[in-house]
Amino acid sequence: MIEITVPASDWWDEQSEQFLPIEQAILQLEHSLVSVSKWEAKWHKAFLGRKEKTAEELLDYVRCMTLTPNVNALVYYGLTEQNIQQINEYIEAPMTATRFPEKEQKHSRRETVTAELIYYWMISLNIPFECQYWHLNRLLALVRVCSLKNQPPKKMKQKDLLKRNAAINTQRRKQLHTKG
């Protein structure tokens, strides 16, 4: 969770042609599967998709991330560049010490990741639903770890197998003082 302070300011309302005061607010935000689900339910598209999001869509995602109750809707228009930068850094943070080799990330065809797909992964990997409130990057790291740990071990290449067996045989010959 991140807590940001939106400073007091004025917002120009084009419809009423007047400035509206925005009081200072402290927002508690959580980038989680629940937030993504809320956003996708409203916008009917994948949040994690490759398509660029409009400023309105990004602002609405901040609303979906908000845990603070009863926030004045104008507060979101008072977000500063520094607030936006803090939010982006928080969203992009890995939130885990787990690292994955880069070569595993090769995919010729990536499917569109939606909230429902992540929920499917959670169900199929027996990840408890409490994890939907975790930071999304941490949840995705857990999904990846579970997937990797559930895979059968890779078979050794014939060349490597022969090389390993030759080394074992050589070692045993030395231990037993034999020639074969």
pLDDT for 110: 73
| Cβ-based neighbours of 139, under 8 Å, separated by 6 or more | 32, 33, 118, 122, 127, 131, 132
Instruction: Report pLDDT for 68.
Output: 97
Answer yes or no: pTM beyond 0.85: no
Does residue 122 contact residue 129 with C-beta atoms inside 8 Å?
yes
User: What tokens does 2 get?
Assistant: 């991140």
Identify the pLDDT of residue 3. 97
Instruction: Assign 28 to helix, strand or coil.
Output: strand
Burial class (CB in 10 A: 0-12, 13-18, 19+), 50: exposed
- pLDDT one-digit tens code per residue, 72-116: 999 999 999 999 999 999 999 999 998 888 765 555 467 889 999
pLDDT of residue 180: 67
**Mean per-residue pLDDT over the chain, rounded:** 91
* pLDDT at position 157 over 90: no
Count Cβ atoms within 10 A of the Cβ of residue 119 and give its class: 0-12 exposed, 13-18 middle, 19 or more buried: middle
Structure-block tokens of residue 4: 């940001």
Q: Do residues 52 and 90 lie in contact, with contact meaning Cβ atoms separated by under 8 Å? A: no
Distance CA 48, CA 40 (A): 10
In angstroms, the CA 179 to CA 163 distance is: 18
pLDDT tens digit sequence for 20-52: 888 999 999 999 999 999 999 999 999 998 889
pLDDT at 173: 87
